[in-house]
Amino acid sequence: MAMEQPANALHLKPQPRSERRRKALIGIMQRWQLYVLLLPTLAYLFIFQYYPMYGAQIAFKRYNVVAGIWESPWVGFDHFTRFFNSYDFWMIMRNTIGLSLYELIASFPMPIILALSLNYVRTQLIKKSVQMITYAPYFISVVVMVGMLMQFMDPRTGFINQLLGAFSIGPINFMAESSMFKSIFVWSAVWQNTGFACIIYLAALAGIDPTLHEAGVVDGASKLQRIWHIDLPGILPIAVVLLILNTGQMLNIGFEKVFLMQNPLNLSTSEIIDTYVYKVGLLSQAANFSFATAIGLFKSVVSLILLLTVNTIAKRAGQSSLW
Amino acid sequence: MRTTAIKDSLSDRVFTLLNGAFLLLVSVLVLYPLLYIVSASFSSPSAVLAGKVWLWPVEPTLRGYAAVFEYKRVWSGFANSIFYTGVGTLINVAITITGAYALSRKDLRGRSLVMMLCVFTMLFHAGLIPVYLVVKDLGLLDTRWSLILPTALAVWNLIIARTFFQVTIPDALLEASQIDGCTDFKFFFRIVLPLSAPIIAVLCLFYAVGHWNQYFQAMLYLRNPELYPLQMVLRDILVRNEVDASLITDVRVAAERDGLRQLLKYALIVVASVPVLVIYPFVQKHFVKGVMIGSLKG
């Protein structure tokens, strides 16, 4: 006891700042090999993630290639106001928000329904086959996906129009109909992603305590009642987290696919923020890096706000949240 | 579920029936377009044009595939894509595994700061143009590296791998090795790496499919058609409808030429998707595993 006393007292005494710093340094020195392993990750983060964030300041400047990022003159919020006042602004916002909401609403419940349905299949072979089939489209590339859409919907040779022709409807040039663009985009995405997205729900369903189901069966609950009272509450936490994540990604509605599906005839419904940025910033003859950066930055900020808002709402409602 | 002890009620039997019908419908809806493409690619040009193909190939022929194999750009695209996928995936996995392991160690000072830096990049993006300018300033425009370095790491995969290490490498193992005088390098290369085959498989698959299907970066950064990956070639042919006419000039009849053009597209879709779809049944369980690990601590 007596021996321990001084040691304890020594330990409790607040260390001077330099002492703590020295210890931290020793800690780092001892683990230097770990930092070497971490180095490529840090290098990547700084070069391709954080340096571009520093470069994003050209949104507030009149960027000049010769002067560079730092030396270009400041213009404040000029590019932003120019975008908000531009003729295209409301069309682009309407398309971006409309398309992303449509996709969110259409694609969110599908994997849940599929997972619930698969969960009640007793024959393993059937379950595995359906899973195998529904995952497959996930691995098709965007280019091939759009290529397939164009082949199927071709006014002359596509099988959809040939089918409609049998009922003497059409031919309809689907890809050129601006009113059809959103539906084609969203439902082809549902076709492609539902199977893969349901994996995570199947895992959550497998994690539900089987005694709950046994108790339900003993009490005479029907399968529908068990779905409603056992399965759905069981997957609710993961569903909420996914909904939050999807909302945060809402405005990032696959630029790649939209861009490939675009043509001059459907532009009035298919022009979204990302495709506009690409055209203004890189495609156009008088490429305006600053203006395009400002629009991109605007989108990133809105996305972040959306994510934070939904997360807060979920937290207030007593649901699972990201943090 | 385990309900064999109690006989199903009428409503449950109706449910099972409807459920089966629903899954059958879903399977048909997913499978039919895929089957149609394969069948169309093996049919004769005139049958495709006339809409005679419904389920199975009509007047089977390999002319579509012959046209694809004569198409030089498809071959150079294939070769390029194999290069981008191979080298890109190698770099991806190396960076991800090393970084994730370091970040999984509790004795790494500043690891929560680095994790925060990582997570923030998932919430906020600088945007297209600033990244483009970095690639340009580094002199990567129009080089093969422009398709590899800007996506050298996916933060989501880093987090998955880190979770894997935290769960599977016991602290006791590290302590025992350290008492025996094992350095961190040695521990990583001799003990951690051999234990991480499952996560390496998962990462390889995620990254490789990403590289194989990537066209957007190529469109942004590449001007030289010789460097184009397969997806860019596909875009020109499938989406922009730019089929090299010189290949099919020997076919006199316009309708026949038109049909062959369609056939070429169907065959091309099959050829481009086969590499991924062939390995997919074998690796399906790995993908599932990857998604599961990700959901542990999403």
CB contact under 8 A, A304 and B124: yes
The span from the CA of A282 to the CA of A17, in Å, is 52
**Two structure tokens written together for A61:** 């400047």
Do residues A235 and A320 touch, judged by C-beta distance below 8 A? Answer: no
Using a CB-CB cut-off of 8 Å, the residues of chain B touching A307 are 123
pLDDT tens track for A11-32: 555 667 778 788 878 877 778 8
pLDDT tens track for A46-64: 999 899 888 888 888 888 7
Partner residue facing B30 (CB), from A133, A165, A241: A133
Partner residue facing B101 (CB), from A37, A126, A292: A37
- Give residues 180 to 209 of A whose Cβ lies within 8 Å of B: 191, 195-196, 199-200, 203-204
B214 and B103 together in one domain: yes
Domain membership of residue B64 (yes or no) is yes
B116 and B53 together in one domain: no
Using a CB-CB cut-off of 8 Å, the residues of chain B touching A132 are 281, 284
Domain membership of residue B16 (yes or no) is yes
Q: Taking CB atoms and an 8 Å cut-off, how many pairs form between chains A and B? A: 275
The span from the CA of B164 to the CA of B96, in Å, is 12
Phi and psi angles of residue A61, each rounded to the nearest 5 degrees, phi first: -130, 170
B183 and B205 together in one domain: yes
Partner residue facing A137 (CB), from B11, B30, B265: B30
Q: Residue A10 pLDDT > 70, yes or no?
A: no
pLDDT tens track for A195-217: 888 888 888 888 888 888 888 88
Q: How confident is the model at residue A2 (pLDDT cuts 50, 70, 90)?
A: very low
How would you label B20-39 residue by residue, b for 16+ Cβ within 10 Å and e otherwise? Answer: eeebeebbeebeebbebbbb
Do residues B163 and A61 touch, judged by C-beta distance below 8 A? Answer: no
B188 and B257 together in one domain: no
Do residues A104 and A189 touch, judged by C-beta distance below 8 A? Answer: no
Calculate the alpha carbon distances from B43 to A19, A97, B74 in Å.
80, 42, 21
The span from the CA of B111 to the CA of B101, in Å, is 11
CB contact under 8 A, A144 and B234: yes
The span from the CA of A105 to the CA of A67, in Å, is 46
Partner residue facing A56 (CB), from B19, B30, B130: B130
Specify the pLDDT at position A7.
46
Separation in Å, CA of A9 to nearest CA in chain B? 26
B105 and B181 together in one domain: yes
Using a CB-CB cut-off of 8 Å, the residues of chain A touching B233 are none
Domain boundaries, chain A: 17-71, 88-316
Domain membership of residue B200 (yes or no) is yes
Task: Pick the last residue of a domain from B196, B226, B256.
Answer: B226
Partner residue facing A300 (CB), from B125, B265, B292: B125
DSSP symbols for chain B = ---TTSPPPHHHHHHHHHHHHHHHHHHHHHHHHHHHHHHHHTS-HHHHHHT--SSS-SS---HHHHHHHH-HHHHHHHHHHHHHHHHHHHHHHHHHHHHHHHHH-TT-TTHHHHHHHHHHHHH----HHHHHHHHHHTT-TTSGGGGTSTTS--HHHHHHHHHHHHHHS-HHHHHHHHHTT--HHHIIIIIIHHHTHHHHHHHHHHHHHHHHT--HHHHHH---GGG--HHHHHIIIIIS----GGGGTT--SHHHHHHHHHHHHHHHHHHHHHHHHHHHHHHHHHHHHHHHHHHHT-
Q: Dihedral of CA A115/A118/A122/A127: which sign?
A: negative
Q: Residue B150: give its domain's CATH number.
A: 1.10.3720.10
Using a CB-CB cut-off of 8 Å, the residues of chain A touching B235 are 143, 260
Do residues B265 and B171 touch, judged by C-beta distance below 8 A? Answer: no
Is A80 at the interface with chain B, CB within 8 A? no
Q: How confident is the model at residue A288 (pLDDT cuts 50, 70, 90)?
A: confident
Q: How confident is the model at residue B295 (pLDDT cuts 50, 70, 90)?
A: low
Nearest to B81 by CA among B244, B233, B297, B266: B233
Q: Residue B294 pLDDT > 70, yes or no?
A: no
Q: Residue B107 pLDDT > 70, yes or no?
A: yes
**Two structure tokens written together for B115:** 């994790």
User: Which range marks the domain in which residue B129 is found?
Assistant: 72-226
Specify the pLDDT at position A27.
76
| Through-space distance between the first and last CA atoms of chain B, rounded to whole angstroms | 28
Separation in Å, CA of A169 to nearest CA in chain B? 15
Calculate the alpha carbon distances from B198 to B154, B193, B195, B283, B286 in Å.
18, 10, 8, 11, 8
- Give residues 224 to 283 of A whose Cβ lies within 8 Å of B: 224, 238, 241, 245, 248, 255-256, 260, 274, 277-278, 281-282
Specify the pLDDT at position B254.
64
B110 and B204 together in one domain: yes
**Lowest mean pLDDT across A125-139, B50-64, B151-165, B250-264:** B250-264
Give the mutation candidate from B10, B129, B287 for the A interface (greatest A CB count, under 10 A): B129
Q: Residue B258 pLDDT > 70, yes or no?
A: yes
Domain membership of residue B44 (yes or no) is yes
Domain membership of residue B233 (yes or no) is no
- Which has the higher per-residue pLDDT, B153 or A3? B153
Domain membership of residue B268 (yes or no) is yes
Please provide the size of chain B in residues: 298
B91 and B200 together in one domain: yes
Is B284 at the interface with chain A, CB within 8 A? yes
B113 and B181 together in one domain: yes
Q: Residue B246 pLDDT > 70, yes or no?
A: no
Contacts for B246 with CB less than 8 Å, ≥ 6 apart: none
Do residues A268 and A178 touch, judged by C-beta distance below 8 A? Answer: yes
Separation in Å, CA of A93 to nearest CA in chain B? 17
Give me the percent of chain B exceeding a pLDDT of 70: 89
Using a CB-CB cut-off of 8 Å, the residues of chain B touching A304 are 123-124
Q: Residue A316 pLDDT > 70, yes or no?
A: yes
Using a CB-CB cut-off of 8 Å, the residues of chain A touching B234 are 141, 143-144, 147
The span from the CA of B182 to the CA of B170, in Å, is 15
Domain membership of residue B5 (yes or no) is no
Count of the separate structural domains present in chain B = 2
B248 and B160 together in one domain: no
DSSP symbols for A114-154 = HHHHHHT---HHHHHHHHHHHHGGGGS-HHHHHHHHHHHH-
Phi and psi angles of residue B112, each rounded to the nearest 5 degrees, phi first: -70, -30
Do residues B50 and A215 touch, judged by C-beta distance below 8 A? Answer: no
Is B17 at the interface with chain A, CB within 8 A? no
Nearest to B40 by CA among B289, B262, B285: B262
Domain membership of residue B47 (yes or no) is yes
Structure ipTM = 0.84
Q: What is the number of other CB atoms lying within 10 angstroms of the CB of residue B149? A: 19
Using a CB-CB cut-off of 8 Å, the residues of chain A touching B291 are 199-200, 203
Fold of A88-316: MetI-like fold (1.10.3720)
Mean pLDDT of all residues in B6-10? 69
Judged by phi (left if over 0) then psi (alpha if -120 to 50, else beta), residue B51 lies in left
| Through-space distance between the first and last CA atoms of chain A, rounded to whole angstroms | 45
Q: Dihedral of CA A240/A245/A251/A253: which sign?
A: negative
Q: How confident is the model at residue A322 (pLDDT cuts 50, 70, 90)?
A: low
